[in-house]
């Protein structure tokens, strides 16, 4: 038997096919839809791979044209799909987006019920892939999909912790998937077991009842040791046993905000891998700012472009 490869990161979750109305149009009026793929954990995986890390993605994917497109896209960005199961007779989840300026903003509609990924559980997914990675990533979207996905999320984090592997949980609350009460009940123990928790100030308030944007209060609420709290246009704050800090936001002209949080999470993951959380946060901010400048869910930047954003220190003209 050929030995399994080792990875820096294993990400677990669902990928959807994104069907987007062109900018300036609506789903009702559009004559065509742009087709891309998107999914929080896979977005993080792509960003990490593009920044030079070895990454694998674990999921279940329908053996249909959309499922094959998902696999092809991830492989194109050097994300390993060896842990992925292709499922005959299943379907690939879809989501539809339209975007516009204020006051419309971004609108998302999901069509993902009974997707192949919703069938993930400890019985249908090979949890031993956790042993091949230095770090395991789970977001709050995966346990929201089904009871089986919630059990799988807990199992992979427990297995990683038991073997001394680092873990990152991105809260990533989605109101269209579950209630705040259910999310709090499931996510609190997952966060308590994580090496690092990533959370927005809005999710801290809505899910965990932390009204003040203070990462230490979030840490207390979920019994976590290290919390990274994103505060929108203000910036990012964090607390850890090594200390706390704040990093101001990078000025950005936004063309598509979907996926920017995943690009930021990838930077945090790199900081955890390298033992330098503040640097990872700053990398994540630069990656998120680049992700916002292009359409689609994936971070399509390069390490050189990230370095240039950080070197510019807020300047937008680098001629």
Residues marked as catalytic: 262
Closest Cα to residue 36, out of 223, 258, 271, 222?
A: 258
Q: State the Cα–Cα distance between residues 223 and 213, nearest whole angstrom.
A: 17
Q: State the Cα–Cα distance between residues 272 and 278, nearest whole angstrom.
A: 9
Residue 170's contacts (CB-CB under 8 Å, 6 or more residues apart) are 40, 44, 137, 138, 139, 140, 197, 198, 199, 261, 262, 265
CA atoms within 13 A on the CB side of 45: 35
- For 11-95, where are the alpha helices, taking DSSP H only? 40-50, 65-76
List beta partners, residue 248: 235
Q: State the Cα–Cα distance between residues 212 and 99, nearest whole angstrom.
A: 30
Terminus-to-terminus CA distance in the chain, angstroms?
Answer: 54
How many residues are recorded in the chain? Answer: 319
Q: Are 154 and 189 in contact (CB under 8 A)?
A: yes
16-20 and 166-170 as β-strands: parallel, antiparallel, unpaired?
unpaired
């Amino acid at each position: 038997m050929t030995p399994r490869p080792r990875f820096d990161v294993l990400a677990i979750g669902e990928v959807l096919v994104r069907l987007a109305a062109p900018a300036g149009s609506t789903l009702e009026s559009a004559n065509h839809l742009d087709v891309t793929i998107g999914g929080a954990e896979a977005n993080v995986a792509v960003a990490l791979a593009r920044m030079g890390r070895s990454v694998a993605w674990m999921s279940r994917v329908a053996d249909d044209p959309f499922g094959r497109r998902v696999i092809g896209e991830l492989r194109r960005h050097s994300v390993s799909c060896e842990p992925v199961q292709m499922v005959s007779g299943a379907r690939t989840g879809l989501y539809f987006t339209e975007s516009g300026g204020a006051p419309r903003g971004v609108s998302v509609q999901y069509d993902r019920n009974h997707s192949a990924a919703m069938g993930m559980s400890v019985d249908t997914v090979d949890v031993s892939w956790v042993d091949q990675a230095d770090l395991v990533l789970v977001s709050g979207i995966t346990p929201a999909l089904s009871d089986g996905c919630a059990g799988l999320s807990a199992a992979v984090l427990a297995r990683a912790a038991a073997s001394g592997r680092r873990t990152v949980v991105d809260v990533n609350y989605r109101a269209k998937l579950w209630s705040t009460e259910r999310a709090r009940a499931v996510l609190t123990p997952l966060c308590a077991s994580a090496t690092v928790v990533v959370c927005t100030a809005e999710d801290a308030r809505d899910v965990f009842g932390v009204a003040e944007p203070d990462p230490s209060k979030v840490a207390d609420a979920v019994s976590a040791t290290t919390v990274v709290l994103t505060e929108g246009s203000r910036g990012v704050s964090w607390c850890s046993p090594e200390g706390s800090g704040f990093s101001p936001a990078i000025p950005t002209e936004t063309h598509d905000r979907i996926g920017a949080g995943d690009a930021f999470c990838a930077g945090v993951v790199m900081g955890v891998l390298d033992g330098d959380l503040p640097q990872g946060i700053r990398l994540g901010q630069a990656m998120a700012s680049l992700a916002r400048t292009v359409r689609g869910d994936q971070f399509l930047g390069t390490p050189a472009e990230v370095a240039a954003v950080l070197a510019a220190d807020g300047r937008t003209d680098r001629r």
